[in-house]
Chain A
Amino acid sequence: MSDMNQQMTARYKNNFLKEIEEQAEMGDWVKMCMQCGVCSGSCPTNFHSAWDHPPQELFMMIRAGKRDEVLESGSMWNCVSCYNCYVRCPRKVPITHIMHGLAEYAYRLGKAPKQQPTQFLSKTFWDNATKTGRVNEVKLTQTLYFKNGLMDGIKQAMAMQSVALGLVKAKRLNPMEAVGGGHKCKDIKGIHAMLAKARELEAQRKGRAA
């Protein structure tokens, strides 16, 4: 068990709802869910049976204290951030943000499914964007394809070759960004200092060991 998971288990004992209310982004809205299921019916990825537990089920499981089942679930990682559930919820529960919040909290605790591809994308995207202040699309794609090693990466890159070539021809993919080109902010140092402070303040406010 990770240190943070131990710390939080001890602090919240069996009150998982309180834990989510305090720790997950927008988690204090969970209790507003009235189990109508409009969110599930509105979710585009739900059509592909991607969700073991659709949103309203996750909310009820939180209230029922099913901590491991919720945090270890792969469901919320299927969110495409389309905000369909968000605008249709009759109780105005910000479901999209809660899905993100649950996923983030599960990830911090080390409870999220291992090798979850969207979790990997989230980390890769944020690290990429904050390194220089702006996204380097070529490096982002490279990191994604080569996450499972060289051979798998070559295979994936080959499969995507026609897509990439089309973009290069249309001048919408610049291979030079892979070798030190690419766009950057001027005050990278300031951005890094500001983000370090923000992480510190957020950990403090949530009572998480930094």
Chain B
Amino acid sequence: MARKEYAFYPGCSSQKGASASNYLTSVESMCKTLDVKMTEIPDWNCCGASISYAESGELPRLVMNARNFALAEQNLPGQDIVATCAACWLGSRESKERLEHSSVLMADTNTALKEAGLNLKVIPEVRHMVEVLIEDLGYDELAKPVKKPLDGMKFAGYVGCQTNRPFGIAGESFENPMYLDKLVESVGGTATQFDQKVTCCGGALAFSEPDKAQAQIKDIIEAAYDSGAEMLVTPCPLCQANTEVYQGQINKKYGTKFNMPVLYYSQLMTLAYGGTAKEAALDGNVIKARKLEEFAAK
């Protein structure tokens, strides 16, 4: 039996061929080393993310999340739900909080769930993957399996918004959370003094109003270079995509020469645990992390 078991909510962007598929691959490799068993919630659905607010309304959005809760409770009783995506985690946790605070919304939710043959009694705990790493395992345990420390490599820990606000990681501040820096250091890397670590990447506005979002992304990448970082590391799929894939467009618009790889913490951990470039899904990075590719091949 595995050391820890969780009901896994991978989310839409983690699926095969989707924008954060490399996140999932590296999380699977990382969990294998750490002996953490993640069982996918059968037939899980989209959380609605923040951006659906105008079309969804409140109850339909809550009901979407409640369906995942009911499926987890029914199929994986007693297990905490763990999300790797910041938006999935936030959407689910927010829904849990609202439903537990309002008997009216809870009753309406169950009336709607009945249409899908489901019923919700107890809402499982909803947690982010980094909470599991930090709280259930701890930095010392995370450092134990390190075979190849990321010596001499400098990372700007980009926490972003939704893994940090409004819930965040227990014991961390909203303005200067340290957990990502500590994760980097626990696998031997160096975390730089990065002053844009909790700045918003523009979120969904990267699609609807790219100029506004790209202005924010520019500030983030610039600060990462200023801090002396070679790479950015993040726990959020949208932060990752937004800060990585628009660097070319930003260069055209602002005359900058950005070319900074953007990694997931799980990719760094997989490599430090001796994983291959494939296991860390380095092939999923649009801006190639050459230094890490060479490191993995050694």
A contact residues vs B (CB 8 Å cutoff): 25, 44-45, 47-48, 50, 78, 80-84, 86-88, 96, 100-101, 103-104, 107, 112, 117-123, 125-127, 129-130, 133-135, 137, 141, 144, 162-163, 166-167, 169-174, 176-177, 181, 183, 185-187, 190-191, 193-199, 201-202, 205
Q: Name 13 A/B residue pairs within 8 A (Cβ), A-sorted.
A: A25-B53, A48-B212, A80-B161, A81-B50, A83-B165, A126-B52, A166-B286, A181-B17, A196-B115, A198-B62, A198-B108, A199-B60, A201-B59
Q: Does B246 contact A (CB under 8 A)?
A: yes
For A122, the closest partner residue in chain B by CB is B54
Q: Are A125 and B51 in contact (CB under 8 A)?
A: yes
The A-contacting residues of B in range 21-37, CB under 8 angstroms, are: 21-22
Q: Are B205 and A118 in contact (CB under 8 A)?
A: yes
Specify the main secondary structure of chain A where it touches its partner: helix
Complex Cα spacing A130 to B112, Å: 15
Q: Does B58 contact A (CB under 8 A)?
A: yes
**In the complex, what residues of A have CB within 8 A of residue B174's CB?**
87-88
Q: How far is the CB of B6 from chain A (nearest CB, A)?
A: 20
Q: Does B15 contact A (CB under 8 A)?
A: yes
Of A87, A134, A197, the residue contacting B45 (CB under 8 A) is A134
B247-271 vs A, CB cutoff 8 Å, 1 = contact: the mask equals 0110000000000000000000000
Number of interface residues of B (CB under 8 A): 68
Complex Cα spacing A59 to B205, Å: 23
Q: Does B56 contact A (CB under 8 A)?
A: yes
Q: Are B203 and A82 in contact (CB under 8 A)?
A: yes
Q: Are B18 and A133 in contact (CB under 8 A)?
A: no
**In the complex, what residues of A have CB within 8 A of residue B246's CB?**
163
Complex Cα spacing A183 to B104, Å: 33
* Residue from the set B44, B212, B213, B246 with the largest chain A CB neighbour count within 10 Å: B212
**In the complex, what residues of B have CB within 8 A of residue A172's CB?**
17-22, 284, 286
Q: How far is the CB of A206 from chain B (nearest CB, A)?
A: 9
**In the complex, what residues of B have CB within 8 A of residue A87's CB?**
165-166, 174
Leading 4 A-B pairs by shortest Cβ distance: A174-B17, A190-B116, A81-B50, A83-B165
Given contacts A133-B46, A172-B20, A201-B108, 14 further A-B contacts (CB under 8 A): A125-B204, A129-B49, A133-B45, A135-B12, A137-B18, A171-B284, A190-B118, A191-B67, A195-B64, A195-B112, A197-B111, A197-B112, A199-B57, A201-B111
Q: Are A134 and B12 in contact (CB under 8 A)?
A: yes
Of A121, A183, A194, the residue contacting B63 (CB under 8 A) is A194
For B49, the closest partner residue in chain A by CB is A125
For B173, the closest partner residue in chain A by CB is A87
Complex Cα spacing A98 to B87, Å: 18
Q: Does B294 contact A (CB under 8 A)?
A: no
For B21, the closest partner residue in chain A by CB is A172
Complex Cα spacing A134 to B67, Å: 13
**In the complex, what residues of B have CB within 8 A of residue A163's CB?**
245-246, 248-249
**In the complex, what residues of A have CB within 8 A of residue B13's CB?**
135, 137
The A-contacting residues of B in range 103-160, CB under 8 angstroms, are: 104, 108-109, 111-118
Q: How far is the CB of B278 from chain A (nearest CB, A)?
A: 12
**In the complex, what residues of B have CB within 8 A of residue A167's CB?**
19, 245, 286
Q: Does B223 contact A (CB under 8 A)?
A: no
**In the complex, what residues of A have CB within 8 A of residue B17's CB?**
171-174, 176-177, 181
Complex Cα spacing A123 to B208, Å: 12
**In the complex, what residues of A have CB within 8 A of residue B108's CB?**
198, 201-202, 205
